[in-house]
Amino acid sequence: MTDSAVESAKRAAAQRAVRDHFDPSSTHVGIGSGTTIVYVVEAIKSASTNPNILFVPTGYQSRQLVINAGLTPISFDTLPDGVMLDVAFDGADEVDADLNCIKGGGACLFQEKLVAERARKFVCVADYRKRQDRLLTNWPTIPIEVAPLAQRKVVAALKLLGSPSPSLRTTLLEKSGPLKTDQDFFIVDAPFEPLLTAKDVEAGKGKGDGTDGTWEVNAISKAIKGLTGVLEVGIFAGQNGVDAQKSQAQDKTLSAVTGGQKPIAVYFGMADGSVKVRTAEGEE
């Protein structure tokens, strides 16, 4: 498959996702990071010239993308309390059958998670290479953002959790050495065996708690997030925004203004030019 076929797939998926989920009367829209999101911004630009929409980027690259498109960026921390994003769009490194995602290939996972959780609807856009049944099928590692001081300790703990060779991500550009995130933290990439979904565990495909060498998506995410020194884990799982808001409406003690980390829909651009849409109801 040629590079241009992959790029065409990304563009087709982005156009469809924007057509289905971008409302030109929105007030706040989240914009993720990576190469696919470029086509989302392109599609938003051609769908609307409403100057009142405020775009919340997920890092330096994302902010430049918004500015270069002539759109208005605002920083996440200027969002007034109680204001949610109407929708947030982002790319993904891999997506499983339950819509759990791995993100962080571009080292922006922390801000991407903040923005995804603040959105009523989180929508992912990806090409066919990212469409799998289980995480860590094709994408090799879980990206983890770590405080520099704690990097060696976190790597040692990841080995105890079963990752054979967690490695510090380095930059291959002008400056050699560890890659620094927008928070000035490091990224550790941790390989594991393909992760089970909750349904796999129910079906007896493994315990999913690490004791038999298998990990379920939410369990490994929680175990890694619990390590002191870890800022964020590049697994986007749990509830989607719509379900999270329903839970909060029923239980007022749950933290306010929190959507979910899981997308409500993932748009995959396919090699044949078609677009597949995966939601909780299945795939069409």
Ligand X SMILES: O=C(CO)[C@H](O)[C@H](O)COP(=O)(O)O
| Residue 269 touches ligand X, criterion: CB under 6 A | no
| Residue 32 touches ligand X, criterion: CB under 6 A | yes
Among 11, 16, 21, 103, binds ligand X (CB under 6 A): 103
Judged by CB under 6 A, the chain residues 135 through 164 that form the site for ligand X are none
Please measure the distance between the N-terminal and C-terminal CA atoms of the chain and give it in whole angstroms: 23
The residue from 112, 145, 216, 232 that is catalytic is 112
- Residue 225 parent element (H or E): helix 217-225
In whole angstroms, what is the distance from residue 26 CA to residue 248 CA? 23
Q: How many residues bind ligand X (CB under 6 A)?
A: 17
DSSP tag of 58: S
Query: Which has the closest alpha carbon to 193: 140, 234, 154?
Result: 140
Q: Report, in Å, the least distance between residue 35 CB and ligand X.
A: 3
User: Which residue number, 173 or 249, has a Cβ lying nearer to ligand X?
Assistant: 173
| Residue 112 touches ligand X, criterion: CB under 6 A | yes
Give yes or no: 112 in active site: yes
Among 106, 166, 259, 269, binds ligand X (CB under 6 A): 106
Q: Report, in Å, the least distance between residue 189 CB and ligand X.
A: 12
DSSP tag of 105: T
User: Which residue number, 106 or 206, has a Cβ lying nearer to ligand X?
Assistant: 106
| Residue 33 touches ligand X, criterion: CB under 6 A | yes
| Residue 109 touches ligand X, criterion: CB under 6 A | yes
User: Which residue number, 91 or 208, has a Cβ lying nearer to ligand X?
Assistant: 91
| Residue 91 touches ligand X, criterion: CB under 6 A | yes
| Residue 263 touches ligand X, criterion: CB under 6 A | no
DSSP tag of 212: T
Among 30, 105, 229, 241, binds ligand X (CB under 6 A): 105
217-225: list long-range contacts, CB under 8 Å, 24+ apart.
Answer: 217/96, 217/98, 217/100, 217/135, 218/100, 220/142, 220/161, 220/192, 220/195, 223/161, 224/142, 224/144, 224/158, 224/161, 224/190
In whole angstroms, what is the distance from residue 84 CA to residue 119 CA? 6
Q: Report, in Å, the least distance between residue 69 CB and ligand X.
A: 16
| Residue 57 touches ligand X, criterion: CB under 6 A | no
Among 34, 57, 229, 260, binds ligand X (CB under 6 A): 34
Q: Report, in Å, the least distance between residue 151 CB and ligand X.
A: 19
In whole angstroms, what is the distance from residue 179 CA to residue 278 CA? 33
Q: Report, in Å, the least distance between residue 58 CB and ligand X.
A: 8
Query: Which has the closest alpha carbon to 222: 209, 241, 205?
Result: 209
145 close to 231: Cβ distance less than 8 angstroms: yes
93 close to 104: Cβ distance less than 8 angstroms: yes
Give me the active site residues, please.
112
Q: Which residues bind ligand X (CB under 6 A)?
A: 32-36, 90-93, 103-109, 112
